[in-house]
């Protein structure tokens, strides 16, 4: 195999898989066809097949000598890989071999599937990236995705994956064995879409979706295999990707499920998975591939994918190609129906849904798997689907099908209405009121649209660079100079400008604009204008810690709005602002109540808005984050990311805000490595062509805090110092004190204790000026003062400061999640002072509290820190056996969340061996 370069190997491996799956008698004929079509590369495939035959004949790899590994593994029974021992082979192919394994390190009992990858897939640089990226792929936590437990490279250089072991049948085999009708098959397919959508929200594309990668368990649950494996194996070099064999489709892929962009070597995106899912659904419903039965070789599939439009689903099941009547009857029988009924069922909506998913141009497909699933759910509910051209007749047909009984009754009601003309006068008055309300809303929308048009055209200085701040200042000047427009419209525009200033963290300017809007709204009787101005002002006031005043603005404004459907949008706006007020006060419970109430109102809005749904989900997610309910927060962030993808806004400022907030949630959940990835994405989106000078100081502070937790203090210092400078220049005291607290941590970790003390003193001045004595934010100051005193060796001062922090936290329900970390700090102080019993008690309590807020099955750096503290206390007691086990537990939590080279991870590893 030494004569084959890596690019050729990657392109040949899917062909090798296909050849190995064939009986030997069929393999010879298949190889002859392949040789005729691809004379340049056929010798390489023949070489690989010959090597497989030789290895099997010699039993070459039945030994346990890793140093002599080549590229296949017929037998490794009894070999230990990481914490697992291999039991028996589950299968093999061109990419490697898969083994059933059991956990053998004594921690707990369990089975896993261990995949030994071919050595030639990764060069030394690739192996390093393989180790690095394994933790990102392992972050996928969804019931429909077989979890990647570990990914690594052994000492001699063998790459391996440890995956959740799943017993089940391939999706198509399960459907046929159970003789599932199309509706049941669609229900299973929707499970597949949900799992793929989860991965896409984590920015991971599968790239090789096919029936053999989707299992159905005995209870009817779907499990997707090999998610993220393609990401782990992809080359770091774009040049390497371009040099792959275009003769075989451009990339290492499964030809039958390859999208046109894969086959032609173009960029792989989430739309690539949408295409593969379309092929999969076509196969499940029609019992045949969309390229037709004539395509037997890989090259024929590739040509059909690039050049031939698939037949409609309804035509395929009737026999649009050389398929016998008996084969068509068997397909229908496996779906518990007849050929004619199957064709009628598929005609129309399902035809169009599949054709849209299989568009050759990725832009013309469904924008996301969520949009694909939404159309299928609409089909199952007999609602109009987006893949079919809309018409009055079509929508009426769907309505009547959904509401057969209601339509019949409606016909009778129409007759009765002829006798009720007097009652219509009251309805007419109500309709007139609604019409007037709608016209007012339209006028406001038009005013805001006109303002936006001004910003995008007239306000921008011709030929000169400009900033968003410049445009907003121009808009402010224009709105304040208007006299002919209605007061309600001016309020709406002022609120819009104020909200934009708030988005830019320019709190002072935002407050000035919103105070003007509020004052103007007080002269009006319009409830919408009064409510929106009051709620927006309350939100911006809360940023300065004035919770009581902010709450008063919010409650008075919300009371202005009647509980009628036409005010649903205004109530949603106010409830979301109320959620912000509660979050600024760190009252997560109230914030969740308000944002969930807003979410419940979305269904009352008289139109469907992906933008509204996205913004509500973002606020719901933030509320759960502040409430330390990270599982719910991450679910809502995922949903918001799906809405964002459906809107095509992954490269916008809103996307940057979403990634920042999501990253913060992951950081607080004890997953800083994942958080760093999203923070970096947010920074990239916020950066201009000239660099990162346009990134908000709050985002810089968040990234600095994360890098500091990952023990990359030099890099963290650069970001924190920039955040401090930018916040000071903008007068953003709310960001200033946070940047100072992060800087204090970084300077302390770097050993510059005097500088740490200086920035802590400056932070204290800002806090005392901004917040009343005893405010919850002072716990963070006290905690940093304790850690600084401990670093200086003044344990008495450290314990005193830590006691102040605990006193603040224990009096505030919303800070319950902070208490465990403070208890662990107290445990370390007690141990340093020789009070072993107290150290053990605090570590045990801290560990139990952290478990209560940690998502089951998801690694957490906080949990790892708790195990570390407890391990140290147990070792001080002389209980070395329990201490080693506890350190091993810490290692399992810290390696995927902080990385293998983090000081805490190395400490846990060393301590577990002692």
Q: What is the pLDDT of residue 704?
A: 96
Most confident of 114-118, 386-390, 542-546: 542-546
CA-based nearest residue to 346, from 332, 333, 360:
332
* Start-to-end CA span in the chain (Å): 43
If you compute the radius of gyration of the chain from its CA atoms, what whole number of angstroms results? 31
Q: What is the pLDDT of residue 180?
A: 93
- How many whole angstroms separate alpha carbon 246 and alpha carbon 242? 9
Q: What is the pLDDT of residue 371?
A: 86
Q: Identify the residue with better confidence: 23 or 744.
A: 744
**Tokens standing for residue 875:** 């070792």
DSSP H/E element including 816: none
**Tokens standing for residue 278:** 């379309």
Q: Identify the residue with better confidence: 155 or 307.
A: 307
Pairing of strands 111-117, 159-164: antiparallel
Q: What is the mean pLDDT of residues 10-15?
A: 58
pLDDT band at 435 (very low <50, low <70, confident <90, very high): very low
pLDDT band at 154 (very low <50, low <70, confident <90, very high): low
pLDDT band at 794 (very low <50, low <70, confident <90, very high): very high
pLDDT band at 81 (very low <50, low <70, confident <90, very high): confident
Task: List the beta bridge partners of residue 224.
Answer: 145, 214
Question: Does 761 score more than 80 pLDDT?
Answer: yes
Most confident of 110-114, 127-131, 737-741: 737-741
Question: Does 739 score more than 80 pLDDT?
Answer: yes
Q: What is the pLDDT of residue 425?
A: 38
pLDDT band at 163 (very low <50, low <70, confident <90, very high): confident
Length, in residues, of the chain: 914
CA-based nearest residue to 372, from 171, 180, 184, 189:
189
Is residue 149 within 8 Å of 138, Cβ to Cβ? yes
Q: What is the mean pLDDT of residues 300-321?
A: 77
Q: What is the mean pLDDT of residues 211-232?
A: 79
Per-residue pLDDT reduced to its tens digit, 455-506: 443 444 444 444 555 555 555 555 555 554 557 878 888 888 888 778 776 7
Give me the percent of the chain exceeding a pLDDT of 90. Answer: 34
Give me the percent of the chain exceeding a pLDDT of 70. Answer: 73
Lowest-confidence segment of 27-31, 160-164, 442-446, 793-797 by average pLDDT: 442-446
Lowest-confidence segment of 132-136, 660-664, 757-761, 877-881 by average pLDDT: 132-136
pLDDT band at 250 (very low <50, low <70, confident <90, very high): very low
Q: What is the pLDDT of residue 576?
A: 95
- Among all chains, which residue has been given the structure tokens 């194996």? 233
- Among all chains, which residue has been given the structure tokens 């390093």? 128
Tell me the average pLDDT of the chain.
78
Which residues lie below 8 Å from residue 49, measured CB to CB, with a gap of 6+? 16, 19, 20, 27, 31
Q: What is the pLDDT of residue 419?
A: 42
Question: Does 342 score more than 70 pLDDT?
Answer: yes
Q: What is the pLDDT of residue 79?
A: 78
Q: What is the pLDDT of residue 135?
A: 53
Per-residue pLDDT reduced to its tens digit, 808-842: 888 666 667 788 999 999 999 999 999 999 999 99
Is residue 75 within 8 Å of 59, Cβ to Cβ? yes
Question: Does 376 score more than 80 pLDDT?
Answer: yes
**Tokens standing for residue 194:** 């949900």
Q: What is the mean pLDDT of residues 735-762?
A: 95
- How many whole angstroms separate alpha carbon 467 and alpha carbon 501? 12
- How many whole angstroms separate alpha carbon 216 and alpha carbon 227? 16
Per-residue pLDDT reduced to its tens digit, 268-293: 788 889 999 999 999 999 998 887 76
CA-based nearest residue to 665, from 467, 817, 508:
817
Q: What is the pLDDT of residue 875?
A: 94
Q: What is the pLDDT of residue 294?
A: 57
Per-residue pLDDT reduced to its tens digit, 179-191: 999 999 999 999 9
Q: Identify the residue with better confidence: 432 or 106.
A: 106
Q: What is the mean pLDDT of residues 391-413?
A: 44
Instruction: Calculate the CA dihedral of residues 543, 545, 549, 554 and round it to 10 degrees.
Output: 40
Per-residue pLDDT reduced to its tens digit, 32-74: 887 877 776 777 777 667 756 654 554 433 333 333 333 344 4
Task: List the beta bridge partners of residue 9.
Answer: none
Task: Enter the DSSP assignment of 110.
Answer: -
Q: What is the pLDDT of residue 183?
A: 93
CA atoms within 13 A on the CB side of 893: 26
Q: Is 91 left (phi over 0), alpha (psi -120 to 50) or beta?
A: left
Q: Identify the residue with better confidence: 55 or 240.
A: 55
Q: What is the pLDDT of residue 139?
A: 59
Q: What is the pLDDT of residue 646?
A: 81
Per-residue pLDDT reduced to its tens digit, 575-610: 999 999 999 888 888 999 999 999 999 888 876 678
Q: Identify the residue with better confidence: 202 or 864.
A: 864
Q: What is the mean pLDDT of residues 501-529?
A: 85
Question: Does 410 score more than 70 pLDDT?
Answer: no
Per-residue pLDDT reduced to its tens digit, 117-144: 765 455 554 555 455 445 555 556 688 8
Q: What is the pLDDT of residue 133?
A: 47
Pairing of strands 214-216, 222-224: antiparallel
Is residue 538 within 8 Å of 581, Cβ to Cβ? yes
Lowest-confidence segment of 23-32, 234-243, 575-584, 602-611 by average pLDDT: 234-243
Helices 697-709 & 672-686 angle (0-180, nearest 10): 150
Q: What is the mean pLDDT of residues 744-756?
A: 96
Is residue 824 within 8 Å of 849, Cβ to Cβ? no
Q: What is the pLDDT of residue 317?
A: 87
- Among all chains, which residue has been given the structure tokens 């000078």? 693
CA-based nearest residue to 476, from 497, 506, 499, 503:
497
Is residue 188 within 8 Å of 196, Cβ to Cβ? no
Q: What is the pLDDT of residue 472?
A: 53
**From residue 556, how far is each of 370, 441, 517, 586, 731 by CA, in Å?**
39, 22, 15, 21, 30
Q: What is the pLDDT of residue 630?
A: 86
Phi first, then psi: give them for residue 294, nearest 5 degrees: -70, -25
Per-residue pLDDT reduced to its tens digit, 683-726: 988 886 555 667 889 999 999 999 999 999 999 999 999 999 99
Q: What is the pLDDT of residue 70?
A: 35
Q: What is the pLDDT of residue 838?
A: 93
């Amino acid at each position: 195999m030494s004569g084959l370069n890596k690019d050729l190997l990657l392109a040949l491996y899917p062909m090798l898989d296909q050849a190995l799956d064939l009986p030997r008698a069929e393999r010879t004929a298949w190889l002859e066809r392949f040789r005729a079509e691809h004379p340049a590369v056929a010798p390489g495939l023949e070489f690989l097949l010959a090597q497989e035959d030789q290895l099997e004949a010699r039993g070459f790899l039945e030994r346990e000598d890793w140093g002599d590994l080549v590229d296949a593994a017929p037998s490794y029974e009894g070999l230990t890989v990481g914490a697992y021992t291999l039991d028996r082979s589950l299968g093999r192919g061109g990419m490697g071999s898969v083994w059933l394994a059991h956990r053998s390190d004594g921690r707990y009992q369990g089975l896993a599937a261990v995949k030994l990858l071919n050595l030639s897939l990764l060069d030394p640089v690739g192996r390093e990236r393989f180790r690095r990226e394994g933790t990102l792929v392992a972050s996928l936590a969804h019931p429909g995705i077989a979890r990647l437990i570990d990914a690594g490279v052994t000492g001699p250089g063998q790459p391996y994956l440890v995956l959740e072991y799943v017993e089940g049948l391939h999706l198509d085999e399960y459907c046929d064995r159970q003789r599932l009708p199309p509706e049941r098959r669609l229900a299973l397919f929707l499970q597949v879409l949900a799992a793929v959508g989860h991965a896409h929200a984590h920015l991971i594309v599968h790239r090789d979706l096919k029936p053999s990668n989707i299992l159905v368990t005995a209870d009817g649950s779907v499990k997707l295999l090999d998610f993220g494996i393609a990401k782990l194996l992809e080359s770091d070099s774009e040049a390497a990707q371009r040099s792959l064999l275009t003769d075989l489709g451009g990339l290492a892929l499964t030809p039958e499920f390859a999208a046109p962009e894969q086959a032609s070597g173009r960029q792989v995106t989430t739309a690539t998975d949408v295409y593969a899912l379309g092929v999969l659904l076509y196969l499940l419903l029609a019992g045949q591939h969309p390229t037709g039965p004539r395509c037997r070789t890989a090259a024929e599939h590739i040509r059909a994918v690039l050049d031939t439009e698939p037949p409609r689903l309804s035509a395929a099941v009737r026999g649009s190609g050389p398929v016998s009547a008996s084969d068509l009857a068997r397909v229908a029988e496996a779906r518990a129906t007849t050929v004619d009924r199957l064709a009628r069922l598929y005609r129309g909506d399902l035809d169009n849904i599949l054709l849209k998913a299989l568009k050759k141009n990725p832009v013309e497909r469904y924008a996301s798997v969520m949009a694909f699933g939404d159309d299928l759910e609409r089909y199952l509910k007999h609602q109009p689907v987006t893949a079919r051209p809309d018409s009055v007749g079509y929508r009426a047909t769907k309505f009547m099908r959904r509401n057969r009984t209601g339509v019949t009754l409606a016909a009778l009601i129409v007759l009765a209405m002829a006798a009720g003309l007097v009652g219509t006068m009251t309805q007419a008055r109500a309709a007139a009121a609604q019409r007037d309300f709608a016209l007012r809303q339209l006028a406001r929308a038009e005013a805001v649209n006109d303002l936006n048009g001004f910003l995008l055209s007239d306000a921008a200085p011709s030929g000169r660079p400009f900033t968003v701040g410049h445009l907003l200042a121009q808009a402010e000047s224009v709105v304040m100079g208007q006299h002919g427009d209605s007061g309600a419209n001016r309020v709406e525009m002022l609120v819009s400008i104020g909200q934009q200033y708030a988005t830019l963290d320019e709190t002072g300017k935002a407050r000035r604009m919103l105070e003007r809007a509020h004052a103007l709204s007080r002269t009006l009787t319009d409830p919408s204008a009064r409510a929106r101005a009051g709620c927006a002002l309350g939100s911006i006031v809360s940023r300065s810690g004035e919770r009581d005043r902010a709450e008063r603005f919010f409650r008075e404004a919300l009371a202005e709005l009647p509980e009628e459907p036409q005010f649903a949008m205004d109530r949603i706006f106010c409830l979301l602002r109320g959620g912000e007020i509660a979050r600024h006060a760190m009252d997560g419970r109230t914030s969740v109540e308000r944002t969930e109430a807003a979410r419940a109102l979305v269904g009352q809005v008289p139109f469907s808005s992906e933008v509204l749904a996205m913004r509500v989900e973002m606020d719901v997610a933030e509320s759960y984050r502040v409430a330390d309910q990270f599982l719910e927060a991450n679910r809502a962030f995922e949903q918001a990311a799906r809405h964002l993808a459906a809107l095509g806004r992954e490269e916008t400022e809103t996307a940057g805000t979403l990634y920042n907030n999501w990253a913060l949630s992951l950081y607080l959940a004890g997953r800083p490595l994942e958080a760093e990835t999203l923070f970096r994405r947010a920074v990239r989106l916020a950066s201009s062509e000239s660099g990162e000078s346009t990134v908000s100081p709050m985002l810089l502070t968040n990234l600095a805090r994360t890098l500091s937790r990952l023990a990359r203090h030099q890099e963290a210092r650069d970001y924190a110092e920039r955040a401090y400078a930018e916040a000071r220049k903008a007068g953003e005291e709310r960001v200033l004190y946070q940047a100072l607290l992060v800087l204090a941590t970084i300077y302390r970790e770097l050993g510059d204790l005097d500088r740490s003390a200086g920035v802590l003193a400056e932070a204290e001045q800002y806090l005392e000026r901004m917040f009343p004595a005893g405010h919850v934010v002072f716990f963070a100051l006290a905690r940093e003062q304790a850690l600084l005193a401990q670093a200086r060796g003044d344990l008495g001062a450290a314990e005193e400061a830590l006691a102040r922090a605990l006193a603040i936290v224990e009096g505030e329900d919303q800070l319950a999640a902070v208490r465990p970390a403070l208890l662990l700090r107290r445990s370390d102080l007690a141990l340093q002072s020789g009070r072993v019993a107290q150290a053990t008690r605090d570590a045990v309590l801290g560990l139990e509290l952290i478990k209560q807020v940690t998502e089951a099955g998801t690694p957490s750096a906080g949990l790892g820190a708790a195990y570390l503290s407890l391990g140290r206390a147990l070792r001080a007691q002389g209980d070395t056996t329990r201490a080693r086990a506890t350190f091993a537990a810490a290692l399992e939590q810290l390696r995927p969340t902080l990385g293998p080279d983090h000081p805490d991870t190395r400490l846990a590893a060393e301590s577990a061996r002692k």
